Structure 1
Amino acid sequence: MKLFLGLAFSCALLWAAPDTGLDDLTINQVQVIGSHNSYKQAIAPALFRLIMAKDSVHAPAIEYSHVPLSEQLDLGLRNLEIDVYADEKGGKYAHPKGLNWAKPQDPYDTGGVMNQPGFKVFHIQDIDFRSSQLTFSGCLRELKAWSDKHPNHYPIYITMNAKDEAFKLSPENLPEKFTSAVFDRLDKEILDYLGRENLITPDDVRGDYPTLEKAVLAGHWPTMRAARGKFMFVLDEHGEKRQAYIAGHPSLKGRVFFADAPVGTPEAAFLIMNDAKKDSALIRSLVQKGYMIRTRADADTKEARANDRSSFEAACASGAQVITTDYYYKSTFFPSDYKISFENGTYIRRDTVFPDKLVTYVDPFIGAAGLGHIFIGPSCPFGMVKPGPDNSMHSNSGYSVDPRMPVYGFSQTHVSGTGGGAKYGNITIMPFGGDFDSVHQTSLRDQETAALGYYGVRLTKWNIKTELTASRRVAFYRFVFGQKGRKGIKIDPGEYLGETPDPDGRENQQFVGCETQWVSPTEIRGYSRIRGGWNNGAAYTVYFSAVFNRPAAQRATFRDGKLQPGLQQFDAGDKNGAIAFFDGGDTILVKFGISYISALKARENIDEETPRWSFEEILHQTQDKWEALLSKIAIDGTSDQKVMFYTGLYHTMLQPVDRTGENPLWQSPLPYYDDFYAIWDTFRSSNPLITLITPSREIDIVNALLNIYHRAGYMPDARSGNDNGRTQGGSNAEVLIADAYVKGLQGIDYEEGFRAMLKDANVPPGGNEEKEGRGGLTDYNTLGYVSNRFVRSGNRTVEYAYDDYCIAEVARGLGHTDAYERFLHQSDNWQNLWRPYTDHGSTGFILPRDPSGRWVDSIGCDVLNPRAPSIAYTPLTRDYPNCVCWWCGFMYEGSSWEYSLYAPHDVASLIRKTGGAEAFQQRLDTFFGNHYFNVTNEPSFLTPVLYHWIGRPDLSSKLVRDIIHRSYGTSMAGLPGNDDSGAMSSWLDFHMMGLYPNAGQSYYLITSPFFASTVVHLEDGKTFRIVANHLSDKNIYIQSARLNGVPFGQSWIEHADIVKGGVLELEMGEAPAGWGGGAPPSKS
C-alpha cells in the first residue's frame, strides 16, 4: 500500500549523523594507535649532550618528544601513556638536579605547580623531567576540556605507570611508594576531574558476571558507540604494586583502572605484551578469546633510527588492540622516514583478527526520509517489540527526519515501511529532568545514531543520552542524565500514533482505555487498548511491564494530565500513566516487556529474555541473530553495494511479526504471526526472499496463515492488531501457498491450504470485502470479471485470475483434477476485461465493463465527492486524486498501462494479444520511455523483466540497472517509495544478485548481477554460487552461462536447481550476445 503526498517533505540535509563506521563493533574489535610517554618533552640540548657524553649507549633511547596531549588527540591518536609519581606534600620533584648540570636551559615550572601536593608527571627523575603537563591534575583538565569540545569521540585509552623506584643519581630523594591508599587517591582524582559517567571501568565490563575475566571471555566489552565520549584507564604494573591496587577489590570491583593481571585470574581483562614480534601468535590467540592487549610498535628509538617497521607490522597482525609509538610524526632529532599510522594515515580501524561483521553494513536510516516510512529503531528478526522515537504523531513509523520536530516519547510497537493510516506506537516512555510540569514532555534532539539493534539520541532540553536495544519481546533502555538534579521517567499507555478525536476516523486509531499500576518501587505494569488504524481493526490490547534497575525515590501516577494520589490508575476510559523520580546516579536502565496476553506475561518475557542488567549483552545477542540471517548470502561488492544489499535483507525480515505464544484469541501449538502489512505488497519478492534465505521461517508464516483461516474463517491479505484487513486486490495468500508448494517446502498441510484457497475462491465475504476474502466474487464467478458496480474491479479481476492459477497449481499437485481444470480456465479471466483500445501506439488494455458486458468510458468515483462523482477512464487514468481514495476507483494504486501488463502466469498470451513480440517490445519501450512505470509501487514489480519473454534478457538487465542506479541509494531517501514491509528492499536485493522470482511459480529470471560473486548458504548446509566473470560497469551483459559446468542457455533457473547446490557461472561482456533467447515458462 502507498501513501502519496504529492510533495514529500524531507529535512535530511538539516540532519547530520556522526561517523559511525565502527559503532557496532565492541571496543576489543577495534585497533588503535597511541603514543608512548605521551607527556614527554625534549631534554634541553645542553643537558642531553652531557647525558650523551656520560652514557652514549642508553642516552639515545630518550631522544624523542611529543606534542601536547590535546594535539595528539586532534591528530586521531586514541591511546595516551602517562607516568605518575606520588607527591603527597608537594615540592618533592620541584628542583630537578639536571637544571644545574648544564646550561643554558629554558625556564622550568614557571607556575610553581611542582610545589603543590598531588601526582606529578615526568619520565625520569632529575634527567628527563620536562612534560607538557607537569601534574596529573593538569593532564586530566586537558583531557576533560578536549572531550567536552568533542563529546562524541571514540574511547580514549590511558595506560599508566605508577613510578616509585629509586633513582641511583638521587638516593637521598626516594619516591613515595604506591600503596592501596595512594591508589585510592589516584582513582579519586580521576573520578573528580572526569566524572564516573565518562569512564569505562571494570564494573561496567563485568556487569552481572561473577568475575571480570568471565565477562571478557563472554565478549562483554561495550560497543564503540556505547564507549563514545569515554576514557578507559589501564594500570601497567606488576608484582606488589598491582597487588596493592587489587587488594580489597576482587575482580577490580569499585576500581577505576583495569590491571595487567595474569590470564586465569578474576581480574584478567587488559594485558600488556610489548614484544609483538616474539609473542605475535600468543597475542592473536588471547585477542580472539576476548582479552584486550597493549603492545608497542617501537621502543627506545631503535626502530625509528633503522627505519624498521617490522615490529609495527607484527603488532598490527597480532590483533593487539592498542599499539603505541613515539613516531606518529617523523623524528626531528635524527634523519629518518619512520612514521607510524594505519592505511590512509588513520590511527583507528577494525581489528583484522575479527571477521567482517555484516551487521555493520545495515543502515536503519535508509528509507527514513521521503516516502520510505522505515522504522529506525532496534528489533530482532520478525521481532514483536519495536521500540523507537516518536516525533510525528501521524507518521506511519512515528518518525520524521525533520530536526525541528521534537521527540514526545519512545513507544514500544511500530510497523515498518507501510502506507495508509498509522498503526501502533503504543505506550511511550520519556525521560525528563526536574519536576513534573506537564504530561506532554517533549525535547528536540541531536547526536542521533542508529545501527542494527541500536538507536541512540541526545534529548537536548535536559541533556539526556537515550539508548535503545531490544530482544524479541523486550525493549531495553539506557538513560544517561547529563544534568544534575532530579531525574524523571514518564510511562504513558495513553500515547499512540494516528490519534484522532473522530470515533469513526478512517484509518486512524482511537483510544479505548488503559491502566497503570506501581507493583513495587522498581516496577510498573499496565496496558493500552486501542482500535482502528490502517486495517480498521477491532480493539487490541498491549500489556506491559517496565522494570527499573534501581528503586524510584518517588512514585506517582497521573490522569488527564494531572498528578494523582495513589499508585494505581484504573481503566475509566480516560488516559493515565505513571512517573518515576530518581535521585543520585546518572544512569537509569529500564527493561520494558510487552505481551498481548497479560501484564504478568510481559514480566515473564523480561525474566526469560533479559535476565541480566546488561545493555550490551542484549545488543550483541540481537546482532548475532541478525548476523546469522544476513550471512546466508555472501556478496563480493563495494561498501555502498553491501550497505544497500544487507539493509535490504534487514528490511525484508522486520515483518511479519512473530507473535508465537502471544496470541490472545486462541491457543494453538502452531506458529502465530501478525502484521501482514500487506501480502499484496510482500508476495511478489519479500516472501520469496525469505523462502530462499530461511525456508523454515516461511513454513512458519504459511502455517500461521492457515491457522488464522482455521480459526477466523479466511486467510488474510493483510492483518494487524490480531484482526484481518485490509484486502486491496486479490486474495494473495494463495500465491504464498502455491509458492511454498511448487518450491517443495515441507511441513505444511497443503490439503488444508487448498481448502483455505477454495474458501477465498467460492465464498463471498459478505459485508467484509475490505477485511478478507474476494470482493465482487459473485460477479467474477458468473461474469468472468468484476464489473464496474464494484470498486477496484480492474485490479481485482487481473489479480483473481492469477490467484486462480495458483489454486490450479496446487490442485494439480494434490490430484484434484476438476478443481485444476476449473481454476486453470478461470486464470484466463483477465482477458475478459481486455479491450482493443489504442493508446500511445499500443493496442489492448484492461478497461471497465458493466454487468451486461458493455465497455464503459467512465467510472463511479465517490458520490460524496462534489469534485468528481465519476471520472472518464483511459489507460493513463489514475484514480487518485480524482477520487477521494485509492479504494474507490477502477485500479488500485495504478493505471491500466501498468495493470494491463500483469499476467505473470501467461505472458505468452499477453504478447500475442498485444500483437506479437515486436509490438510487445514497442509497448514496453513506450511504458518505460514515457515514464508510465511506477518504481514506487508493487503492481509493476515484474514488468522490467518482461523483455525475457521476447528473448531479450539483455534489455531487462539494462533497464533494471538503470532503475536501481536512478532510484535506490544509501541516503536517508534511498528507497523510491513506501518500503511496504520489505517489498521495495527485497526487489532490490533479488536484482542485485541477478535473480528475480515469479512468485507462485518455481523459477527465477536471470538478470545481470551487481556482484562478481554471490554465495547463498542454504539452510541444509549446501551452497549455491553465482559467479559473474569479467563483470564491470561496462560489462553488464551476459554472453554465456554454465550451470555446474554444463552450458546453460535459458534465461531462467528453477528453484530446485538452486537448492541442490552448485554454481551458475556467467560470462559478462560489454554488448548483448544473444544469450537467453528462449522464453521463460508461460501457461500458453
Structure 2
Amino acid sequence: MGNTHPGATSPLGMVSACAYSGAYPTGYGLYSKNTEGVPEEMFDRLQASGFTHFQQSGTGAIRKYYNYVRVTPMLQPLDELGRSWALTEEEASPGYYAATLDTGIRCEVTVGAKVAVHRYTFPAHSSARVVVDMSMGGLAVELGRTVPLRAQVESMGLGRVQGTVVMEGVPLSVYAEVDAPGWRQMLWYDRRLIDGGTRLDLDSIRHTNLRPFGMLFRGGARAGQTIEVRLGFSLRGCDQARDNLRRECGDGVPSFDRVRSATRLRWREHFDKVQIDGGTPARRTVFATALYHSLVKPCFADDESPFWPDSGPYAFDICTMWDIYKTQLPLLSALAPQRSADLLESLVRVCEEEGNFPIGYRMARGADRFFRQASALAHTALSDAHALGRAEIDWSWALVHMVDDLRRMYGEDFYEHGVVHPITHTLDLAYAYHCTARVARALGDRRLADDLEERGRGWINAFDPATGLLRDSEFYEGGKWNYSFRLVHDMAARIALAGGDGAFLAKLDRFFGFGADPVKQPGPRPSPAEMAAGYALNRFEGLNNEPDMEAPWAYHWAGRPGRTAEIVQSALTWQFGTGRGGLPGNDDSGGLSSWYVWASLGLFPVAGQHQFLINAPAFERAAVRMPEGELIIETSGHREHPIGAEGLDRDVRAQYVQEATLDGKPLHATHLSAAAVHRGGRLHLRLGPEPTSWGSGNRPPSLSDPPPPEEP
C-alpha cells in the first residue's frame, strides 16, 4: 500500500482536492487503518460523499488527517448529506481529477497553488444542490475525526460566501464563488437551512456538540448544465483567501480550464527537468509516477504562516523529515533548488519561533512533532545546502539554532553521556554534530567545529564491538539489524568495528538474505506471534522501512558495489508496478518515490556527506537539468529489464558497471561530489553481466581517511 491518492495537486502547492470516502489514510479509496499485513477493505466499491481539500500523500498513521471543506453536488435533500455514492469513470492526471457519481453528476476538480476549482455537470433536475460542509475534517475510522474548535461563515452577496474554521489551532479561511445563475444560496446548520440568515458564528465546538454546518446553493438544473465552484484558501484570514482566489482565478469568470492549464504547465516544467530514453512502457510509467509523487509534498504556502506575521516562505506537511531527508530533500535540491532553500528557511523560522527544529510539521499548532522517530535531522539538510552554497540563509543565525537544537530532547542525555536510548538517536545526534561541525568550520569558527566534530565521533558508542551491530535497545519501526547498516559519516571505522571487510560483508549478505529461504509474507490481520517471527529473521524488509532505503549502498564502502547493483535492480524490478499495490510500502510524502527516481538514474545521495554513489541505472540514457548544468547519464551495453509481472518469464539478471568516465576522463571511484553532480556533465557507464573490480579499491570517503595530498 503506497497510501497515495489520485486527487488534483499542484507541484509543492498548498492545496489538494480529491474524492472523499473516509478511508485511511488520505480519505480516498477502500481501505481501513492498517500498519501491518494486508489491509482490509472498509467498502465493497469505490465511493464518495463529496470532494475534500488538503490530503496527505503516502503517509501512515500520523493520527490527524485533513480533508477539510467538503463540497458535495447532490440531487437529494440536505438530510442525505454524508451519504456516499458509487464512483465510476475516474480520470486523473497531474492537477486534475474527475469521476461520475451514480446520481449521474459528472464531477471535476483542479487546483492551483492556493485555490481549488470544482466543475459539476448535472442531469436535468428540478432541485439540484451544491453543498459546502465547513465542519468536515478527518477520516471515517476510529479516532480519525478532526473537530473544529471555532467557526464563522458569512454570505457576502450573490454567489459569494466566506468562512473561517479553526482546525487543530490553525485558522483555515476560505472565500468561495459559485457560478449558479438563478440558484438560491443559504447558510445551514445541523442539516437545516437558515432562511434569510447571512452569518453563522460557532464557538467552543466539541465532539459532543458538533453539528455539521456550511453553505448551500440550490436550483433547477437543465441536462448538461455546469456549475463552477471556486475556492480560495488562506491561513491568514478571508481577505487574503479572496486575494488568493483573484490572483489565480481572475474576477468573476469561469476559470476551471484556466487554472487547470496553468497547473498542468507547472507540472510540465518540473517533469521536463528529467528526460529518460529506453525502458519498457511499464517501467517508464512507474518512473514518471515516482517523479510526480516526489513533487507533491511538502506544501508551500508563501506569506501564509498563521504563527508569525512576517512574509516569506512557510512550509507544512513535512511528514516527516525521517521519511524524506535522505532521498526527497536531495531531489528537491536538484530539481527545485529555490523551493529547497525556502523549506530550510521555513524550518529555521519554525525553530526560531517554537524552540526546536521539527522532525515532522503539519498544518497544526504545536502537536505531533514526531520526536520518537529521530533526532536533529534538519541539520543534515542544512549542512548539504550550505556546502552547495545556494540557499540565501543567514547562516550565522542558522548555526546558532543548529547548535542549540542539539541539546534538546534526547540531545541533553547525549551531550552528557555520549550515548542515549533509543540507541538510534545516538546515531542521529552524532551525525547532526558532524553536519553542524561542517557548517561551523566553513563559517570560520574552528573552536566550535572541533568540539562538535569530537562529539560527532560518538556514533561508535551506539555499537557493540562484540557483534558489530547496534546495542540492544528499543527501535522505531524496525530492529537492530535494520538500523545497523546506516551510512554513518565514518564508514571505514564502522567496517573496522565489525571486524573488517569480510565480517561486514557477511553481515550485510545475511541481512539481505543471500542464500536464505524465501520469507512468507503476512496476510490480513497477522497475529503478534506471526509478526514477531518475521521480525526475528533480522532481514531486509524491502524498502518499506526508512533505514532500509540506504542500506544497499553500504556495500560501496566494503568494495562490493556489485552487490548494490543486485539488490537495487531487484527492488526496481520486483517491488514496483503499475497497478494497485505497486509500491512496496508507504510512499511517505514522496520519500520512497524519490528513492525510486535516484535508483533508476543510477545515483544515490548520501545526505549530510555531500556526495553521490554511482550504480548501474535502469535506463539507457537520462538527462537531468541540474541547477548549474545538464547532467547526462548514458550507458553502453545496457539491457532492458521488465518489471513486476512483465518479468516472470524473462531473464532479469543484474547489470554491473564495468568502467566509467566523467566528461571523457576515467572515473575509478564509485562516487561523485554533490557539487560535481549539480554542475552537470556527461557520466558514461559501460555495463556488463558480471561484476568487475571497478570501484573496489577507490571507495567513498570516510571521516577517518587520511587527507588527500595537496595539489602541487
Pick the TM interval, shorter chain: 0.7 to 0.9
Other structure's SS at 2:172 match: strand
In the alignment, is the contact (CA less than 8 A) between 1:806 and 1:1000 conserved in 2? Answer: yes
CA distance in 1, matches of 2:378, 2:548: 19
**CA RMSD between the two structures:** 2.0
Aligned to 1:887: none
Does the aligned pair in 2 maintain the 1:416–1:980 contact within 8 Å? yes
Q: How does 1:339-418 map to 2 (within 5 A)?
A: 370=1, 372-392=2-22, 394-400=24-30, 404=45, 406-418=47-59
1:1017 aligns with 2:620: no
Q: For residues 971-1000 of structure 1, what are the alpha-carbon distances to aligned partners after superposition, in whole Å with 9 as ceiling and x for unaligned?
A: 232111111111000001000000000001
Name the residue aligned to 2:390.
745
Give the one of 659, 662, 668 matched to 1:1043. 662
The corresponding residue for 1:315 is none
What residue in structure 1 maps to residue 509 of structure 2? 925
Q: Deviations over 1:444-480 (max 9, x none)?
A: 21111211111111110x1111001111111111101
- Determine the structure 1 residue equivalent to 2:592: 984
CA contact (8 A) 1:527 1:542 kept: yes
- Tell whether 2:667 aligns with 1:1080: no
Q: 1:484 to 1:508 in 2, by over 3 A?
A: closer
Q: Which residue of 2 aligns with 1:1065?
A: 684
Q: Are the aligned partners of 1:742 and 1:1001 in contact in 2 as well (CA < 8 Å)?
A: no
| Inter-partner Cα distance in structure 1 for 2:154 and 2:509 | 64
Confirm or deny: 8 A CA contact 1:426 1:542 kept in the other structure: no
Q: CA deviation at 1:373?
A: 1.4
Q: Distance in 1 between matches of 2:180 and 2:506?
A: 70
Q: In structure 2, give the amino acid aligned to 1:776.
A: Y
SS state at 1:511 partner: coil
- Distance in 1, matches of 2:322 and 2:608, equals 13
Task: Identify the residue that residue 166 of structure 2 maps to in structure 1.
Answer: 529
Contact 2:69 2:136 in 1 (8 A): yes
Q: Please, which of 551, 570, 575 is the counterpart of residue 201 of structure 2?
A: 570
Q: 1:1035 to 1:936 in 2, by over 3 A?
A: closer
Instruction: Indicate if the aligned counterparts of 1:439 and 1:562 stay in contact, CA closer than 8 A.
Output: no
- Percent sequence identity is 28
Q: What are the ranges of 5 or more consecutive residues in structure 2 without an aligned counterpart?
A: 32-42, 517-537, 641-652, 705-712
Amino acid at match of 2:198: L
Q: Distance in 2 between matches of 1:937 and 1:552?
A: 55
Equivalent AA in structure 2 for residue 963 of structure 1:
A
Deviations 1:159-181 (A, max 9, x none): xxxxxxxxxxxxxxxxxxxxxxx
* In 1, Cα distance between equivalents of 2:678 and 2:132: 49
Shift in Å at residue 521 of structure 1?
A: 2.5
- 1:211-237 Cα deviation digits (max 9, x unpaired): xxxxxxxxxxxxxxxxxxxxxxxxxxx
The 8 Å contact of residues 10 and 94 in structure 2, kept in 1 or not, is answered as no
Larger Rg: 1
Count of aligned pairs between the two proteins? 640
TM superposition shift of 1:964:
1.7
Map of 1:178 onto structure 2:
none
Residue type matched to 2:288 in 1? Y
Q: 1:846 maps to what in 2? A: 470
Alpha-carbon offset, residue 552 of structure 1: 5.2
Q: Name the aligned partner's letter for residue 675 of structure 1.
A: D
Q: Which residue of 1 aligns with 2:325?
A: 683
On the 8 A contact 2:627/2:679 being kept in 1, the answer is: no
In the alignment, is the contact (CA less than 8 A) between 1:403 and 1:445 conserved in 2?
no
Q: Does 1:828 align with 2:451?
A: no
What is aligned with 1:605? 244
Contact 1:543–1:596 (8 Å) recurs in 2 = yes
Deviations 1:407-457 (CA, angstroms, capped at 9, x unpaired): 122112112111122321111000001433333242121111211111111
CA contact (8 A) 2:123 2:221 kept: no
Confirm whether residue 1056 of structure 1 aligns to residue 675 of structure 2: yes
* Structure-1 residue corresponding to 2:380: 735
Describe the shift of the 1:529–1:1036 C-alpha distance in structure 2 as closer, same or farther (beyond 3 A). same
User: What is aligned with 1:779?
Assistant: 413
Equivalent residue runs for 1:530-929 within 5 Å: 530-531=167-168, 539-551=169-181, 553-565=183-195, 566-572=197-203, 573=205, 574-575=210-211, 576-585=213-222, 586-611=225-250, 612-638=253-279, 639-724=281-366, 725-727=369-371, 728-762=373-407, 764=408, 775-787=409-421, 793-836=422-465, 843-848=467-472, 890-929=474-513
User: 1 CA distance for matches of 2:221 and 2:133?
Assistant: 24
Report whether the alignment pairs 1:956 with 2:564: yes
CA distance in 2: counterparts of 1:584 and 1:921, whole angstroms: 70
**Structure 1 residue 517, shift from structure 2 partner:** 2.3
How far off is 1:1027 after superposition? 0.7
- Equivalent residues of 2:154, 2:199 under 8 A apart: yes
* TM-aligned CA distance change 1:1028 to 1:1035, over 3 Å: farther
Query: Per-residue deviation at 1:1050?
Result: 0.4
- Measured after TM superposition, the shift of residue 496 of structure 1 is 0.6
Q: For residue 570 of structure 1, give the secondary structure of its aligned residue in structure 2.
A: strand
Output the CA distance in 2 between the equivalents of 1:945 and 1:453.
35
Aligned mates of 2:278, 2:294 — CA distance in 1? 20
Kindly indicate whether the alpha-carbon contact (under 8 Å) linking 2:135 and 2:147 is maintained by their aligned counterparts in 1.
no
Q: Offset of 1:668 from its aligned partner?
A: 2.3
Q: d(CA) in 2 for partners of 1:468 and 1:474?
A: 11
* Deviation of 1:747 (Å): 1.5
Amino acid at match of 2:187: T
Residues 1059-1068 or 991-1000, more deviating: 1059-1068
- Matched residue SS, 1:908: helix
Give 1:864's aligned residue: none
- Structure 1: gaps (5+ residues): 1-369, 532-538, 765-774, 788-792, 838-842, 849-872, 874-889
Q: Is the 8 A contact 1:397 1:416 kept in 2?
A: no
Q: Which amino acid aligns with 1:966?
A: W
Please report how far the alpha carbon of residue 825 of structure 1 lies from its aligned counterpart in structure 2 after TM superposition.
1.9
Displacement after TM superposition at 1:903 (Å):
4.2
> Quick one: distance in 2 between partners of 1:752 and 1:378?
38
Which residue does 2:643 correspond to in 1?
A: none
Shift of 1:394: 4.6
Aligned-partner SS, 1:590:
strand
Q: Which amino acid aligns with 2:635?
A: A
* Paired position in structure 2 for 1:971: 579
Q: Which residues in structure 2 correspond to 1:429-578 (within 5 Å)?
A: 429-460=71-102, 462-498=103-139, 509-531=146-168, 539-551=169-181, 553-565=183-195, 566-572=197-203, 573=205, 574-575=210-211, 576-578=213-215
Distance 1:978 1:946, change over 3 A: same
Q: Secondary structure at the match of 1:486?
A: strand
Task: Check 1:903–1:784 CA distance in 2 against 1; reply closer, same or farther (3 A cut).
Answer: farther
Q: CA deviation at 1:907?
A: 1.4
The residue type paired with residue 380 of structure 2 is: V
Whether 1:944 aligns to 2:552 is yes
- TM-score normalised to the size of structure 1? 0.57
Q: Evaluate the alpha carbon distance shift between residue 1026 and residue 1075 of structure 1 in structure 2; reply closer, same or farther with a 3 A threshold.
A: same
